[in-house]
């Protein structure tokens, strides 16, 4: 019996490896939670074009915005097909257990990490004419002028992080909710907001015009496209540090050999074309390719960090509905 099981395992491994080597056998789909023109959409299309040329099969970009990312995730999990892949930032699902009462999926079971592609630059910013020059100065000013200042953050991870920041630092500030966070940069530039934590890309035009200034980035290390901007850790607030990875996920049960194959192909096409990094830099993304194991570790680190934040805020994780 033992010999039979060993032989069977060897046969399965051989089949999975052979299947990976011939992948894809038909057009592949990348499902996104964003509409056309978003930073992740630009990344997906650049990557899709290069992978299509390498694979000899079309890579179709499928935009499924809405529902806080759940529309895209549901479309992906419903397909249950290794030629339908999910392309989203980790923030698309890591905050879900703390922002929804119930979830129709289990991210650890249903979203299998294959390869990260980029890191989104997330920034803590204030109005361009603010007297504040650092995160420390912002904290000091908020305490010196209690109940007169306000802050906002992009939904998901950033919103949880800013709430934790306010509570742990005992800041007497109001948090402003937004139905459409894309309105917040204009409010910040016009002084209706005192601080905003969101993607650099969402604020880039106003930053370049001097109407907004960035105090720090949440990346774990300095960003090459913004070498003069300190990290939140350098600013003295390491608990705000978080790498916001964007990557590709496969369906439940995807063989390791296939994950490795797709990850290697992604790494190869990005390494072969230096213009990709340049073009993505213009969208405030930094190329950050991590294979299955390293990508999974990065996601776990973010999950663990958000679990700690949830404890601070007294939030219980949602349960899956299936």
User: Would you state the structure tokens that stand for residue 186, as one six-digit string?
Assistant: 């204009």
Query: 156: exposed, middle or buried (C-beta count within 10 Å: 0-12, 13-18, 19+)?
Result: buried
Residue 27 in contact with residue 57, Cβ under 8 Å? Answer: yes
Tokens 């305490």 belong to which residue?
143
Looking at residue 20, its pLDDT comes to 84
DSSP letter assigned to residue 284? T
Looking at residue 4, its pLDDT comes to 40
Residue 252 in contact with residue 80, Cβ under 8 Å? Answer: yes
Task: Determine the Cα–Cα distance for residues 265 and 263; give it in Å rounded to an integer.
Answer: 5
Looking at residue 293, its pLDDT comes to 97
* 27-119+243-320 and 122-218 in the same fold: yes
Task: With CA atoms as reference, report the closest residue to 84 among 31, 22, 20, 17.
Answer: 31
Reply yes or no: is the peptide bond before residue 19 cis, omega within 30 of 0: no
Looking at residue 1, its pLDDT comes to 53
Residue 103 in contact with residue 96, Cβ under 8 Å? Answer: yes
Reply yes or no: is the peptide bond before residue 244 cis, omega within 30 of 0: no
Share in percent of the chain as helix, strand, coil (round to 5): 45, 20, 35
DSSP letter assigned to residue 220? S
Task: Determine the Cα–Cα distance for residues 126 and 148; give it in Å rounded to an integer.
Answer: 15
Segment (H or E) for 48: helix 39-55
Residue 43 in contact with residue 117, Cβ under 8 Å? Answer: yes
User: Would you state the structure tokens that stand for residue 119, as one six-digit string?
Assistant: 């890191």
* 214: Cα separation from own chain's centroid: 20
User: Would you state the structure tokens that stand for residue 292, as one six-digit string?
Assistant: 């299955």
Looking at residue 3, its pLDDT comes to 53
Q: Which CATH class is domain 122-218?
A: alpha beta
Taking the CA atoms of the chain, what radius of gyration do you get in angstroms? 21
Residue ranges covered by each domain of the chain: 27-119+243-320, 122-218
Task: Determine the Cα–Cα distance for residues 174 and 152; give it in Å rounded to an integer.
Answer: 9
- Packing angle between helix 256-271 and helix 292-313, nearest 10 degrees? 100
The CATH classification of domain 27-119+243-320, taken from the options 1.10.8.50, 3.30.1180.20, 3.40.190.150, 3.30.420.40: 3.40.190.150
Residue 235 in contact with residue 126, Cβ under 8 Å? Answer: no
Tell me, yes or no, if the pTM score tops 0.85. yes
Looking at residue 319, its pLDDT comes to 65
Task: Determine the Cα–Cα distance for residues 120 and 284; give it in Å rounded to an integer.
Answer: 6
Which pLDDT tens digits describe the chain residue by residue (322 residues)? 555 444 434 334 444 454 688 999 999 999 999 999 888 999 999 999 999 999 999 999 999 999 999 999 999 999 989 999 999 999 889 999 999 989 999 999 999 999 999 999 999 999 999 999 999 999 999 999 999 999 999 999 999 999 999 999 999 999 999 988 889 999 999 999 999 999 999 999 999 999 999 999 999 889 888 999 999 999 999 999 998 899 999 999 999 999 999 999 999 999 999 999 999 998 999 999 999 999 999 999 999 999 999 999 999 887 655 5
Segment (H or E) for 89: strand 84-89
């Amino acid at each position: 019996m033992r010999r039979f099981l060993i032989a069977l395992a060897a046969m399965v491994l051989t089949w999975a490896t052979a299947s990976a080597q011939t992948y894809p056998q038909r057009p592949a789909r990348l499902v996104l939670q964003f509409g056309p023109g978003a930073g992740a959409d630009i990344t997906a299309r650049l990557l899709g074009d290069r992978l299509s040329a390498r694979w000899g099969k079309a890579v179709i970009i499928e935009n499924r915005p809405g529902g806080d990312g759940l529309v895209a995730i549901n479309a992906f999990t419903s397909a249950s097909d290794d030629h339908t892949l999910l392309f989203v930032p980790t923030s698309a699902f890591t905050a879900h257990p703390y922002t929804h009462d119930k979830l129709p999926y289990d991210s650890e079971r249903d979203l299998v990490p294959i390869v990260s592609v980029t890191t989104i630059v997330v920034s803590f910013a204030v109005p361009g004419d603010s007297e504040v020059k650092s995160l420390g100065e912002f904290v000091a000013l908020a305490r010196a002028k209690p109940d007169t200042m306000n802050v906002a953050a992009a939904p998901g991870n950033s919103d949880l992080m800013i709430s934790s920041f306010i509570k742990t630092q005992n800041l007497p500030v109001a948090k402003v909710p937004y139905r459409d966070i894309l309105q917040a940069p204009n409010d910040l530039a016009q002084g209706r907001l005192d601080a905003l934590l969101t993607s650099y890309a969402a604020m880039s035009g106003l930053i370049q015009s001097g109407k907004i200034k960035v105090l720090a980035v949440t990346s774990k290390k300095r960003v090459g496209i913004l070498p003069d901007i300190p990290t939140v850790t350098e600013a003295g607030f390491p608990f705000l540090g978080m790498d916001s990875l964007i990557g590709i996920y496969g369906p439940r049960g995807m063989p390791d050999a296939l994950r490795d194959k797709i990850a290697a192909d992604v790494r190869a096409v990005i390494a072969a074309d230096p213009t990709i990094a340049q073009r993505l830099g213009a969208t405030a993304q930094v190329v950050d390719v991590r294979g299955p194991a390293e990508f999974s570790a990065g996601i776990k680190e973010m999950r663990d960090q958000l679990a700690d934040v949830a404890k601070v805020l007294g939030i219980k994780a949602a349960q899956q509905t299936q």
